[in-house]
Structure 1
């Protein structure tokens, strides 16, 4: 018996690339016009749709023979650079200035071109210096590119002397300044203070009010009284008694304990009163993470408040509008606390697995949305173990959509609501991953934070196996999968669903 070995070769790959480049150069049979100040840039809808989730969603229901996109501020040369990448997968950055490369990053981020974003971040690493890092960090924050933010902070920490004293540092945005102050603990504080005061002077009109919340991030107790007088003269930013109070409070915080990634909750100091759980840590600790498991299948909206003296309480988690259940991993900005209170907003009995309750300072930094206080998980959180549930749809085993990525099927009758998954708690998400096996599938994905208002975030036609929908980050607690075409017997099938943020 003779065995035949078959090998797949990319014999036409180079020719295909040349043809795509020719199509980009000539714009034959174009059907998209980018119009920038009366200047037209031509493109092809099918290329844009194939390469970009942004354009796929934009053109999804369009039947126009010609699509015109008007822009007032878009740089034509930068658009041409990004379009060449979309058509050919190739890009040249060495002839661009750092400012222009940042514009490429912003456009790639808008068009959800992740590979291009990653490539540009890698190039910016070698363009970074004391003059450019403030603007790079501003862009990294506005585009929410975590890797680039980390690169900038590492550079500033390692080169604090030349970065903080450079005039360009004063061009930092307020969010960038907050991030720098939060990560410059080991930098000489007098250097940080001097740079901060110059930044305040430069941006005084834009700030309107003195950024008290930023000032307290600097260790003022490390700065001599003569330097602190700058807060009072020539134009007083705040009364000297306020400065003294800040210094005193910071000295008291020096007595605060912090044990990274170690649970500091004391079992004997956890008490239940009605629908509230109180935890006494017995001394002040710096914490930013709470983990609890809500017992049973009952859903509970709840809040978490913290206090250092049992008199003044601050709310760090407000899930009073979210029906939560199962395992809850709660993240919040660093707090110095002694007491923690978890209060259910439901009339149902509130039971928490007390032996498994954890309070800690996590070194695994996560992104927390300042407006909603929700955090972005990098791992899949749509799992049965964490408390996620399939609340609409059927399967050959309960909640199969969340358990077995390859072995089971879930389905619903086309015309019904869809396959709907409820997460154990709300998150900031931007990615849904699906497995349709080998059956051609047409679908759309919708998300909601309250089950009543739904937002479509993406969809595809005639696709198979693993698919991924990426969309701008938003609060999500419910995910709905809707089939656009039935598979068999009027039903729409799916093997697996995952949710996370990237």
Structure 2
């Protein structure tokens, strides 16, 4: 058996020796390659044995002296000779070739389908990777799918990350090389890698614009400061605000934490006043509506189908609006209708649970005084809180205090100047959520003013009005005193849904509840027979109910 193996080995050596002697030899040549003005003699047999490309090519040519020339256009004379040398000798002296020449041979080997030669080149190039050659090898290795060489390059990066990301040639790397580097465990701080990536983006954002966001998704945001992340949008707008917010949404463990509902707050809307970072909401981020023919529109894409029953936001102007939701951006359902009310400030909006991806907030142009429609502090919630909604009006029938600072109520001293807050407004110290005007201590007694109706009308010019931020359906009011009511203390309460048209609710002179039919209320005006300020110093208003009614005490 040993003798047979030695015989086969010797026979293979003799065959290879004879083949080597035919390299660029006219003897027995039956094909000629033409490269420019140079002709290279060759032989069909070794070409067909080693290369499927040549096998297919030579099958279409006749084996005769008059038709045996093949023109080579895609490979230089120097590198084609190296291809023939490998075919005839079975090897190449790789160490004598530069990295550039080696990759030219790789390209030729791919063209002529010499898979074994490509494997040899991959193994050799993997040993040539060092600090100097890395930059000329890494992109070529990846583009030619040289696995061993590419792995060697990445090993070099792992061991020398700081040197690699700070090198002047780092900005010249391909997106494919950047992707592999960003996926590696790093020996350098993530901040340094991120800043190097920022410089790469600045150099390639037009050429490789579609690659920027996918590369940023590989960044370890939780290891970066807020100041570092701001480099994506300030001072240069390297990515859109929309893409930036989406990236933060996909990195919930980052140092920039935001509510999931805020992560998609800009699609067709404009973010203004920059992007302020912190835990929770973007408190100074404003969503500005886009002006359409029929009014202003803020369009929000939540990026996924969600179940929710509450929307919260702060209006930056006074006026009416509506809120609709949709699952497909085609069929919309109205869930909040505030088109008849001048809402202001914080809006807590409840509705029956909806499954939706898209939210549209709309306001008619004629109702917006400053020609802009903006909201902030936007949230979408799914709350287990129990609430009751009137199906016809979409208004909340409150079961808790709505006439309180906790519910963003506002006190003004004169019905004709609703922008002037009462300077003495403060929470009642002994009540939860109540509103008291002035000191809870008893004031000095003043003379009784006539209780006649004309005197009440006169005192309305110096009344105190409670403004609610949004309309509620209210059907019961109560007035309480912290110092005791007398029979001659008369208070007139009036209700309004627009702060213009007022309906007298009741004249109260005892701490008794007065009920009426349920109606939308945004303002409650109090007028008394005593000096108004003294009167309100004695009484406080509070909204509370354990049933379906709402009380304003």
TM-score (structure 2 length as normaliser) = 0.41
Which structure has the higher relative contact order (CA within 8 Å, separation 6+)? 1
TM-score (structure 1 length as normaliser) = 0.45
Structure with greater Cα Rg: 2
